Chain A
Amino acid sequence: MEKLINQFELGLFFWQVLIFIGLIFLLKKFAWKPILDAVNDREEGIKNALLSAENARKEMQNLQADNQRILQEARLERDNMLKDAREMKDKMVDDAKTEAQAQGQKMIDQAKAAIESEKNAAMAELKLQVSTLSLSIAEKLLKEELSNKEAQTKLVEKLLGDVKLN
Chain B
Amino acid sequence: MVISNKALRFIIATFVICLPFISMANPEKDTTIVQTVVAHEGAEASHEAHAEPTDVKSKVKAFIKHHVLDSHEFSFFQDDETGVHYGFSLPIIIYDNGFQIFSSSKFEHGEAVAESNGNFYKINHHDGKIYKTDAAGTITEDEKSGHPTNVRPLDLSITKSVLSILIAAVLMFFIFTGLAKSYAKNNGIASGAGRIFEPVVLFIRDEIAIPNIGEKHYKKYMSYLLTIFFFILFLNIFGLMPFGINVTGNLTITFSLAILTFLITNLTANKNYWGHIFWMPGVPKPMRIVLAPIELLGVVIKPFSLMIRLYANIFAGHIVLMSIIGLMFIFKSWIGSSLSFGLSFALSILEILVAFLQAYIFTLLSALYFGMAVEEHHHEEAHH
Chain A interface residues toward B at CB < 8 A: 2, 4, 6-17, 19-28, 30-36, 38-39, 41-42, 45
6 cross-chain pairs, A with B, having the tightest CB-CB distances, nearest first: A31-B176, A38-B183, A34-B180, A28-B223, A11-B155, A15-B162
Are B154 and A31 in contact, with the CB atoms below 8 A? no
Smallest CB separation, B107 vs chain A (Å) = 16
Query: In the complex the two chains form, is A13's CB within 8 Å of B255's CB?
Result: yes
A45 vs B183: C-alpha distance in the bound complex, in angstroms? 14
Q: Establish whether residues B226 and A15, one from each chain, have CB atoms under 8 Å apart when the complex forms.
A: no
- CB of B339 within 8 Å of the partner chain: no
Taking a contact as CB atoms closer than 8 A, the residue among A12, A23, A28 that contacts B70 in the complex is A12
Measured between beta carbons, the chain A residues less than 8 angstroms from B157 are 11
Q: Which of B48-56, B246-254, B282-290, B344-352 contacts A (4 or more CB under 8 A)?
A: B246-254
> When the two chains form their complex, are residues A16 and B252 in contact, meaning their CB atoms are under 8 A apart?
yes
Interface-located stretch among B3-11, B12-20, B198-206: B198-206
User: Closest Cβ of chain B: how far from A144's Cβ, in Å?
Assistant: 143
The answer on a CB contact under 8 Å between B156 and A14 is yes
B330: chain A residues within 8 A (beta carbon): none
Interface residues on B, range: 35 or more
**Chain B contact residues: helix, strand, loop or mixed:** helix
A45 partner residues in chain B, CB cutoff 8 A = 188
Closest to A25 in B: B223
Q: Using Cβ atoms and an 8 Å threshold, which residues of chain B touch A39?
A: 183, 198, 201-202, 205
B173 within 8 A of A: yes
Q: Are B173 and A31 in contact (CB under 8 A)?
A: yes
Cβ 8 A contact of A17, one of B155, B180, B256: B256
Complex CA gap A38/B205 in Å reads 14
Q: Is the CB of A26 within 8 A of B253?
A: no
**Which residue of A17, A21, A23 is within 8 Å of B173 (Cβ)?**
A23
Considering the chains assembled together, what is the distance between the CA atoms of A72 and B315 in angstroms?
Answer: 80
Distance in angstroms between the alpha carbons of A30 and B226 in the assembled complex = 13
In the assembly, what is the distance between CA of A65 and CA of B333, in Å? 84
The smallest beta-carbon distance between A117 and chain B, in angstroms, is 106
